A = this chain, B = another copy of it.
């Protein structure tokens, strides 16, 4: 009998898992269940439709229905899974006709993602608070803009908050960002690096209020203002970007254990503590390569990598997930910012003794016109002198600098090795001494 594989969720992690399973097992019955109307789209692209760089939300559909047909993947949209039974190995769901179905599986992959998180703030039940997690969310925000919203308050200065803020500024809105912590991008950058990004955003007209707690939503039945650390801020549009929480309810109800990060616990094959049940993407945890601690960084790149591993294993192959560095990058107006490995802050929290070094250099030869500034910060474990983290903020070519550092970290490069590393240069493209190498020199000076 054909192997029955069920995947709950049909975006980055889920589709990648189903595709990997199909690659291994041509005959398996593979079913994807999603409660959304649209499957296989890129959540990361949502802010850019709002900003207008991408014409329509439907452009974000990376895997159209034809893809599922081609790979013979049985996709059921608008189908809500209500229970997993790991003893009988079955999933119960309600489909778009309202019918309740119980589907048996040989392998199950949980890719239920994460949901926007709303803290228990007074008045949060009121209408008019938007979030940006799904295409429907995006459509609602775009509609509000088209209906004439002139100002927006965004609560949370993480990636989604800031990318959405930039999009709204580009649409002509006055945007205020309210962040509880004393810096923007607190999960991503150290305060010294985040400051550069914040200055750029402010130059572009964004109002950024850090260290402010949202205390109340004001307004009759629709929110018209918030109170943040005692200050009343009015706006036409309110977007909650407090962060996301792993969607683990189905797993918990089924007795599938969570790990210390409160996401679903997995082994190196992305299998949960229950045999033949895998978890991937924003609802699953995996070890950080440096700390070995289970984390759930909720990034698209991690989701697809985990999906690929789980899908192969669910179809009888053998594949290991090697852990995460949580490399991430963003572009906000004309500045790019990226991270890989641990920030200084995260290293300290993990009680790792580090030496850091940072330099500001240029993206082209000093004499070449239109060179842009680039700042690199390295985090080095003191005893081994190995690089364990890097942050880069600047005008261009930041993503691949992060990838270069990511490879260095994954291969346990020491800061001495980086200071001597062979790099490429041409006057329109780089400095003779690459900024990464110069940052390594800065660390070495402190280690001597």
- Inter-subunit contact A407/B413 (CB<8 Å): yes
> Taking the complex as formed, is A324 at the interface, i.e. its CB lies under 8 A from any CB of chain B?
yes
Q: Cβ of A434: which chain B residues have Cβ within 8 Å of it?
A: 403
Judge if A60 is at the interface, Cβ distance under 8 Å: yes
Check if A425 is an interface residue, CB within 8 A of chain B: yes
Asked if A244 lies at the interface with its beta carbon under 8 angstroms from chain B, I say no
A443 at the interface (CB under 8 A from B): no
A130 at the interface (CB under 8 A from B): no
- Which residue from B54, B289, B368, B406 sits with its C-beta under 8 Å from A48? B368
Would you list which residues of chain A between 373 and 416 have a CB under 8 Å from chain B?
A: 396-404, 406-408, 410-413
A39-61 near B? 1/0 per residue, CB < 8 Å: 00010110010000110000110
Docked-complex contact A422 and B340, CB < 8 angstroms: yes
- CB-CB nearest in chain B for A305: B420
- Which B residues touch A261, using CB under 8 A? none
Knowing A42-B367, A404-B403, A436-B403, the reply to whether A424 touches B338 (Cβ < 8 A) is: yes
Q: Is A328 an interface residue (CB 8 A)?
A: yes
Number of interface residues of A (CB under 8 A): 69
Q: B53, B368, B424: which contacts A403 (Cβ < 8 A)? A: B424
Across the interface, A300 reaches (CB within 8 A) one of B397, B412, B432, namely B432
Cβ–Cβ contact B422 & A301, under 8 A: yes
The answer to whether the Cβ of A252 comes within 8 Å of any Cβ in the partner chain is: no
A304: interface (CB < 8 Å): yes
A410 near B417: Cβ-Cβ < 8 Å: yes
A113-121, A139-147, A193-201, A329-337 - interface stretch: A329-337
Q: Contacts A62-B367, A413-B411: A432 and B53 contacting too (C-beta < 8 A)? A: no
Q: Which residue of B299, B328, B423 contacts A406 across the interface (Cβ within 8 Å)?
A: B423
The answer to the question of A427 belonging to the interface, with a C-beta cut-off of 8 Å to chain B, is: yes
Per the bound structure, the CA–CA distance linking A433 and B15 in Å amounts to 14
Q: Look across to chain B and name the residue whose beta carbon is closest to the beta carbon of A304.
A: B432
Q: Please tell me if the beta carbons of B403 and A365 are within 8 angstroms of each other in the complex.
A: no
Question: Are B329 and A424 interface neighbours, CB within 8 A?
Answer: yes
State whether the Cβ of A236 lies closer than 8 Å to any Cβ in chain B. Answer: no
CB <8 Å contact, B411 and A407: yes
Would B407 and A48 count as touching, CB distance under 8 A? no
B300–A425 touching, CB < 8 Å: yes
Chain B hits for A300, CB < 8 A: 425, 432
Nearest CB of B to A97, in Å: 31
Docked-complex contact A427 and B42, CB < 8 angstroms: yes
Distance A396 CA – B363 CA, assembled complex (angstroms): 13
Q: For residue A305, which residues in chain B have a CB less than 8 angstroms away from its CB?
A: 420, 422
A33 at the B interface (CB under 8 A): no
A406 to B423 Cα, complex, angstroms: 7
A45 contacts across to B, CB distance below 8 A: 365, 367-368, 427
For residue A239, CB closer than 8 A to chain B, the reply is no
Query: In the complex, which residues of chain B have a beta carbon less than 8 angstroms from the beta carbon of A402?
Result: 424
Q: List 17 A-B contacts (CB under 8 A).
A: A45-B368, A45-B427, A301-B422, A305-B422, A323-B422, A325-B422, A329-B425, A329-B429, A331-B429, A336-B429, A397-B399, A399-B425, A401-B403, A404-B404, A407-B407, A407-B418, A408-B411
Nearest 3 Cβ contacts at the A-B interface: A400-B400, A411-B411, A404-B404
